[in-house]
Structure 1
Amino acid sequence: MKRLMYLLLGAAALTACTNRQTTQTKTDEGVLTKTAAAETAEVRLTEEFTSEIEPYKENDITPAAQGVHINRILVDVGDQVKAGQLLVTLDPTQYTQARVQLKTVEDDYNRLLPVYKAGGISAQQIQQAKAQVDVQREAVANLKKNIEVKSPITGVVTARNYESGDLFAAQPILHVMQIDPLKVIVNISEQYFPNVKVGMPVELLVDIFPDKKFTGTVSLIYPALDPATRTFKVEVRVPNANRTLRPGMFARTIFDLGEKPGIMVPDVAVQKQVGTAERYLYVITSDSVAERRAVKLGRQIGDRIDVLSGVEAGEQVAVTALSKLYDGAKVSVKQD
């Protein structure tokens, strides 16, 4: 019986020794992982910026003088108007009085002109009479503008603040917006200043029309950068013949800014440090050691991501067993 117990104990000891040897062998081999090479590739620079759609032009419709009565308002909110179209007429009383005064000074001048030619009055007197005519004519012209208010742009009436017969005060009578075309003002990072050109196409996406894409063109590049944000303004002109878009809508503009050389790795290789914004991956060195590298990332394309810093082209990065890796860990690369 004792001999049987000794045999059992010996077998158990032999098994434990074998297991320790197997574990030690696996440890010596390192963490089994697959790798992929960091590859150079041309990365398309398409950047998206959020903005608000604005009228291409807009005007407050106001007369030149305050304290006059509004005679008639000829349009209402929503009406389409053309440049030069008469929108508002005001009380013509002052205009009528000014025309009577103009007729009087014109008659005086015409009566004095033959007397001057005959030598009956001096050149200074006839010049004074002519000056009175010119001043009164200018006053009549200004008053005519004041009683006939026209639209300076083609657009749509978006606000009406008075009714016929009201006394005009400080608030504009009407507000007119040009909504075909529209414009979008975009703030773009200074690094793209050399890439943006007048006339380049821009794609416009509007959330309330998820199935539609609109196209605009860069119409103006502001010459100065904002030193606080390191951005520059770009105006995008957007055709709107069907009046689908409206000022005030939220929009996303997508700029195609060309290509740049990049270093691409599989996105599964990149991990995020918990509690921070740090991204890192493991580069497998030539002596089969995992080296943790903090990386700065660019654009993701499909299942690959552009690494802006932290990895060189041709280096091997781990793509499996990432949770088992640590900086300095011995690894064994699994071959496909």
Structure 2
Amino acid sequence: MRKTFQIAALLVVALLSACSGGEEKKEGTQEEAAQLNKPVVKLASVTSREVEQIEEYTATVEAEAKNNIAPTSPGRIDKIFVEVGDYVSKGQKLVQMDAASLKQLKLQLENEETEFKRVDELYKVGGASKSEWDAAKTTLDVRRTSYNNLLENTQLLSPLNGVVTARNFDNGDLYSSVATPVLVVEQITPVKLLINVSEPYFPRVKKGMDVSVKFDVYGDEVFEGKISLVYPTIDATTHTFPVEVKLTNTNKRVRPGMFGRVTLSFGTMNHVVVPDRAIVKRAGSGDRYVYVYKEGKVSYNKVELGRRMGAEYELLSGVDDNSQVVIAGQTRLADGVEVEVSK
């Protein structure tokens, strides 16, 4: 009987030992599972540095001046002396309108000049009154003004140095539409671009500032320009103000209608710079975030982006200097989550 009791006691001890060992093993497995469930992330250390503050604006090139060449009244076009693409000088004769009316008016002017000379000589010797002299002088002046006006509208001259950009009629056509000029002449030395700059830069944009311009047609080639005009008011709707940029364009390579990218530099500022892989876009909004690692956990920091510089972003706010940010493994992350750092 005693032997049977000893055997039973040993069996109970063995059973208890087995159960205790099983619980310890189970607890160890749970810890390992929890460790395995931690999101694994890759980190990058970030610091602040001086970043050039530049802004890029797009605009279409405009001529410095644009003139529509046309008479003030209908008439037949006798001859057009230029073609599209021709360079013209100020005062150059571009179009000759029919001169029949001009010749008739010239004869009338010559008669009035002869009549005035006659009245003037009589007036000097007392043979004509002052009122007769005044009437003859007025008639002559009116006739001369009419002749000069008709002459100006018969021989159409270029008002500027430029290039012919449109020709809408041919020799012998009847000009009758004031809405369509005979020719269009544009001044392309210099040319200008009009950009809209954000309100915060208003105190920093000054007339005479140097700017750089690139044109899609010329790739990465940089053209130098200057700010020629800063408009004094800000649009209340867009909170921008117009700025005019001029390029001398002495080689005439830049033409009206070209698409340009104007870059303005506002010096440098000290900002944190992070890899572009650290930036997370929040679904359904335009907000951007960065996961910042500290003491085994990550925080979900909203950031304000500045310039993109190759594979990096300037941050205007949201991340402190000398922080560690997550650059891989963001899919399973949330604010305050414990993470495992990849070696």
Q: TM-score of the superposition, structure 1-length normalised?
A: 0.84
- The yes-or-no answer on 1:57 pairing with 2:75 is no
CA distance in 1 between partners of 2:216 and 2:121 (Å):
76
CA distance in 1 between partners of 2:332 and 2:172 (Å):
83
Alpha-carbon spacing, 1:8–1:80, altered in 2? closer, same or farther (3 Å): farther
CA distance in 1 between partners of 2:174 and 2:250 (Å):
37
Q: Of residues 180, 183, 196 in structure 1, which corresponds to 2:189? A: 180
Measure how far apart 1:72 and its partner are: 1.4
Amino acid at match of 1:98: L
Alpha-carbon spacing, 1:276–1:114, altered in 2? closer, same or farther (3 Å): closer
- The yes-or-no answer on 1:79 pairing with 2:89 is no
Amino acid at match of 1:245: V
1:224 alignment partner, SS class: coil
CA distance in 2 between partners of 1:323 and 1:50 (Å):
36
Alpha-carbon spacing, 1:130–1:269, altered in 2? closer, same or farther (3 Å): same
* Residue pair 1:195, 1:258 contacting (<8 A) in 2 also: no
Measure how far apart 1:163 and its partner are: 1.8
CA distance in 2 between partners of 1:211 and 1:42 (Å):
24
CA distance in 2 between partners of 1:68 and 1:211 (Å):
50
Aligned residues: 328
Larger radius of gyration: 2
The residue correspondences of 1:1-336 to structure 2 (distance < 5 A) are 15-23=25-33, 26=35, 39-64=47-72, 66-170=73-177, 171-285=180-294, 288-319=296-327, 321-330=329-338
> 2:7 maps to what in 1?
none
- Percent sequence identity over aligned pairs: 37
* Residue pair 1:42, 1:259 contacting (<8 A) in 2 also: yes
Amino acid at match of 1:290: V
* Residue pair 1:81, 1:155 contacting (<8 A) in 2 also: yes
Amino acid at match of 1:325: L
CA distance in 2 between partners of 1:310 and 1:317 (Å):
11
- String of CA shifts for 1:143-170, please: whole Å, max 9, x gaps: 2111111001112212212222222212
1:223 alignment partner, SS class: coil
* Residue pair 1:291, 1:327 contacting (<8 A) in 2 also: yes
Alpha-carbon spacing, 1:160–1:267, altered in 2? closer, same or farther (3 Å): closer
Q: In structure 1, list runs of 5 or more residues that go unmatched.
A: none
Cα RMSD after superposing both structures:
3.1
* Residue pair 1:270, 1:281 contacting (<8 A) in 2 also: yes
- String of CA shifts for 1:57-78, please: whole Å, max 9, x gaps: 22110123x2222221111122
CA distance in 1 between partners of 2:334 and 2:62 (Å):
53
1:328 alignment partner, SS class: coil
2:233 alignment partner, SS class: strand
CA distance in 2 between partners of 1:105 and 1:21 (Å):
117
2:219 alignment partner, SS class: coil
